[in-house]
């Protein structure tokens, strides 16, 4: 697979119940043990590079698996972001990496497990119906009302599907930024003590800010409650650092984030193709 091709889209599970379930998502950040790597002779390192590049090529073509390898700036050396419908495949993937000669020189500095999901705050057809009646003055039995409501339902259905069964962006979005986050649960401010309608209002404002960056930033927000130490993982795909800085800076002023947002470490990386392994990691 070339660097310009997007990861192959997994096939959604066949049963109706399973289709409502999200897919496991793994972020794995690792540091190269340079002393151990340098201890190998030239032939051993060359063989290890070929072995690992071959593994990445095979994984890139595996049906059902989306995998993005990237070179990390600062906090690690290399990152792997993986999505697959089967949790067992995600577990095996980490072991496949570790079982290679290069993998034996990789030390995990941070990992994050989450699952794709549809937000509970997504606008419903009931929300839209009230808007069409109260704000647009449409009669519920009018053809225009039915047309607009049907179009809304189709759009939101497609949006929900994209959240539950995401398709990762291709190489035209080469810069990745990942960070975990939670909502405040302190005595002074507790997100979970707010009424649902108030939380939904705050999230709607947050979503409006995100939509303004749709052409510059592709976002994937996954749930990690009960799976990891934070409640959500946020992955931003962009073309440049400024887009990351701009969207995160603006959203910090959003009421929902300013009052209730708690953020973990930020990891920025640049994706590479399997054939670029040696140069991307300076092996």
Spatial CA neighbour of 270 closest among 76, 107, 90, 8:
76
Q: Which residues are tagged catalytic?
A: 179
Q: Strand 24-32 and strand 78-83: pairing?
A: antiparallel
Q: What is the pLDDT along the chain (283 residues), one digit of tens a residue?
A: 433 444 444 444 433 333 468 999 999 999 999 999 999 999 999 999 999 999 999 999 999 999 999 999 999 999 999 999 999 999 999 999 999 999 999 999 999 999 999 888 888 888 888 888 988 888 889 999 899 888 988 888 888 898 899 999 999 999 999 999 999 998 789 999 999 999 988 888 777 777 888 889 999 999 999 999 999 999 999 999 999 999 999 988 888 889 999 999 999 999 999 999 999 999 9
Count Cα atoms within 13 angstroms, Cβ side, for 195: 3
Tokens coding 22: 């999200």
How far apart CA 26 and CA 85 sit, in angstroms, is: 12
Q: What is the CA radius of gyration of the chain?
A: 21
Range list of β-strands (E), 136-283: 175-183, 217-223, 232-238, 261-263, 267-271
DSSP H or E stretch at residue 73: none
Q: Which residues contact 271 (CB under 8 A, 6 or more apart)?
A: 3, 68, 69, 70, 71, 171, 174, 175, 176
**CA–CA separation, 37 and 61 (whole Å):** 28
User: What are the residues facing 67 on neighbouring strands?
Assistant: 82
Cβ–Cβ under 8 Å, residues 189 and 280: no
Does the model's pTM come out above 0.75? yes
Contacts of 192 (CB under 8 A, 6+ apart): 183, 185
Whether the CA torsion 267, 10, 100, 95 is positive or negative: it is positive
Neighbours of 55 (CB within 10 A): 19
DSSP-assigned letters across all residues of 108-152? EEEEEEEEE---TTPPPHHHHHHHHHHTT---TTSHHHHHHHHHH
For residues 145 and 139, give the distance between their C-alpha atoms in angstroms, rounded to a whole number.
7
């Amino acid at each position: 697979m070339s660097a310009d091709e997007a990861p192959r889209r997994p096939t959604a599970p066949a049963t109706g119940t399973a289709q409502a379930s999200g897919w496991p998502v793994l972020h794995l950040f690792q540091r190269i043990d340079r002393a151990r790597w340098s201890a190998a002779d030239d032939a051993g390192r060359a063989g290890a590079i070929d072995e690992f590049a071959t593994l990445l090529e095979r994984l890139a073509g595996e049906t059902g698996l989306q995998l993005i390898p990237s070179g990390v700036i600062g906090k690690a050396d290399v990152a792997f972001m993986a999505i697959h419908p089967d949790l067992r495949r995600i577990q095996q993937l980490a072991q496949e990496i570790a079982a290679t000669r290069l993998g034996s020189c990789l030390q995990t500095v941070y990992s994050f497990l989450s699952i794709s999901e549809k937000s509970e705050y997504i606008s419903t057809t009931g929300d839209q119906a009230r808007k069409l009646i109260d704000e647009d003055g449409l009669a519920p039995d009018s053809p225009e009302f039915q047309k607009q409501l049907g179009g809304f339902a189709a759009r939101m259905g497609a949006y929900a599907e994209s959240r539950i069964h995401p398709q990762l962006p291709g190489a035209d979005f080469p810069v990745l930024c990942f960070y975990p986050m939670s909502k405040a649960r302190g005595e002074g401010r507790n997100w979970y003590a707010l009424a649902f309608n108030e939380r939904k209002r705050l999230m709607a404002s947050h979503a409006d800010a995100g939509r303004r960056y749709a052409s510059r930033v592709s976002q994937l927000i996954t749930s990690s409650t009960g799976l990891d130490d934070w409640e959500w993982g946020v992955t931003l795909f962009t073309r440049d650092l400024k887009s990351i800085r701009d969207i995160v800076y603006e959203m910090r002023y959003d009421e929902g984030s300013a009052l209730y947002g708690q953020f973990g470490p930020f990891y920025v990386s640049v994706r590479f193709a399997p054939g670029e392994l040696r140069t991307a990691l300076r092996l």
